[in-house]
Chain A
Amino acid sequence: MSRARLHDMSLIAVPLVFAAALHAQAVPPAPAAAPDLSDPEVAHVAVTANNIDINAAKFAQTRTHNAGVKQFAATMITDHTAVNAQAAALAGKLGVTPKDNAVSQSLQTAAADARKKLEPLHGAAFDRAYMDREIAYHQAVLDAIDKVLIPTTDNAELKTLLQNVRPAVATHLELAKALRARLK
């Protein structure tokens, strides 16, 4: 997917961004509609996105023998757990209950598909596929934060949380690219 295309995406494109990343397909189908996301729905999307990467990392820890990949997976678990704790604390403070929605469901479906593709892989092939997936996923999350989640969020504190999370996601992407470059 080109950045120019991402720039033009509407709100419904969030699941397509993630799905395209997880399936490593070049161009997703054009979005059909553009429903807005409420703040409880944005919160649910954020928590879901974190949980997906935590679960992927936990699976990687059971499969990889590469020390670098193990460390990366451990960092993903630590960081995304910390972000979810902040999100839960903020939701409690604001009296907001994260609300399931089509975007979250799309993320979960895409994550399940990605997991199926990783399941049969072992050794270096698994490491490469997992890191490729992490690069695509974090790039997609970064794009979604910039172009959809932050712009569509009304609550100032939730928006600030998303803005504070952004540098961590960018660093994860940088780490993933550097590690992937070292894998044979």
Chain B
Amino acid sequence: MNVQAWTFVIVGLSFALYIGVAIWSRASSTKEFYVAGVGVSPVANGLATAADWMSAASFISMAGLISFLGYDGSVYLMGWTGGYVLLALLLAPYLRKFGKYTVPDFVGDRYYSQVARLVAVVCAIFVSFTYVAGQMRGVGIVFSRFLEVDITFGVLIGMGLVFFYAVLGGMKGITYTQVAQYCVLIFAYLVPAIFISLLISGSALPQLGFGSVDVGSGEYLLDRLDGLHAELGFAPYTAGSKGTLDMFAITTALMVGTAGLPHVLIRFFTVPRVRDARISVGWALLFIAILYTTAPAVAVFARTNLLATVSEQPYAEVPEWFETWEDTGLIAYEDHNGDGLIQYVGANSPLENELTIDRDIMVLANPEIADLPAWVIGLVAAGGLAAALSTAAGLLLVVSSAVSHDLLKRSFRPGITERGELVAARLSAAVAVVVAGYLGIDPPGFVAEVVAFAFGLAASSFFPILILGIFWKRMNREGAIAGMISGIVFTAAYIVFFKFVDPAANVPDRWLLGISPEGIGTVGMVINFLVSTVVSLLTPPPPEAIQRLVDDIRVPKGAGPAHEIRA
């Protein structure tokens, strides 16, 4: 069977699995729709969180990014895992004890204010849509390359599937499909990584393989790669070129953003007890770490293979994968010096670079570059789809619960029936799927880049006021509203200015303190912390009842099932 046939079979089987799981676990009440009836076991929740969390950016783009950035790519590795430590220690157990359904629920109740709730709803929807756009773009890339359908049609298939299980199943359906999706995506990530590790380093563990000796040359693989980089005029792979402060800022924005993302936070409302919330963060990070420690190895293997395969090769003899990716426009070759050879060189080389490669394709092209069997390539396509679809579904649920629960039930239509709320939840999920699909067909920029902005926005809006809400009883309504607004407005303005208004100015010299738009969420977060604290101290303390609520969420005892809502 050829690659395309394998891809159809494997992707088809994985989709059938998700649909089966969704039918088995559909939701019948709002509690099941929002928080899966609070009956998810910690390990299942860890698996679901890992799939929810690991998006198209993690699966498709991250290793590619690291492969091109070398050491500088570490910001993604540390940033996207270190946030779980913050989540486990500072947020998850307390939010579970609080026991409501959504993040705006916590904000609205803790800050005894409809305005705070509405600001939180707007932030949640804004962050989620920024993020979901990246997922749908990932779905489009996979479909167009492997199934040779039009990107638009690919996105439509993806939308149809997410629609089916998110709208029907709610959180319950999503949770159990995500468990299945985690298994598909991790298998799809590890199989080619182990294959390539064995080929290049002789080690079955990619985590050790990229620190071992290269079978071909007898040198340490990292030394060989640094040597190739020096020869071709690229910056050394194992040393950085980003400024230290920028590294620091991006890592912080990603870590804190992780801990502030509503679709991740909401997962810890679904377990029965506070201690389950704590341990499920641990399981989640363990399952995530399996992929995240493999990714830098994949990056090194892919980079070495790429340089060895294309550099100074005659263009007329390029392998088949090169041509197929050229057709998608994601690889481009232009023979500037007319010698018929491919000069792929960096900024420090006297030669002119003739090859441009989209970073997003590295993971997807890697099995082909390494000449792995056709079924492995099909498997990678299924894994990429699992990663994108599971995250998209989690985000859409946040949007839908923000509309039906936070806007209707808690704000504008408190008298709505359980049945009515469930219908509203399904309708808003349906609308959100359509909007997300549109963003996927007409996407703004790189998957990982767009997603990186969502983190900045989450870091600068939610994280400070959630932390202060738990750890500082004096924190009040006025501080929270002022903090959220100043944080997200500052961050969004900085990103929009450098990315859309004046992209030409997007150079380190023009950045504030040398911090790139990817890292600016850190500054937004600091602004949010400062504004919240100062405004709180200048305005009256929160009511007695709120201070008791804070006392209550600080101890695990008496969590029980999620509370029904009291005004």
Say whether A and B bind each other.
Answer: no
| B interface with A by C-beta (< 8 Å) | none
- Which residues from chain A sit less than 8 Å from chain B, CB to CB? none
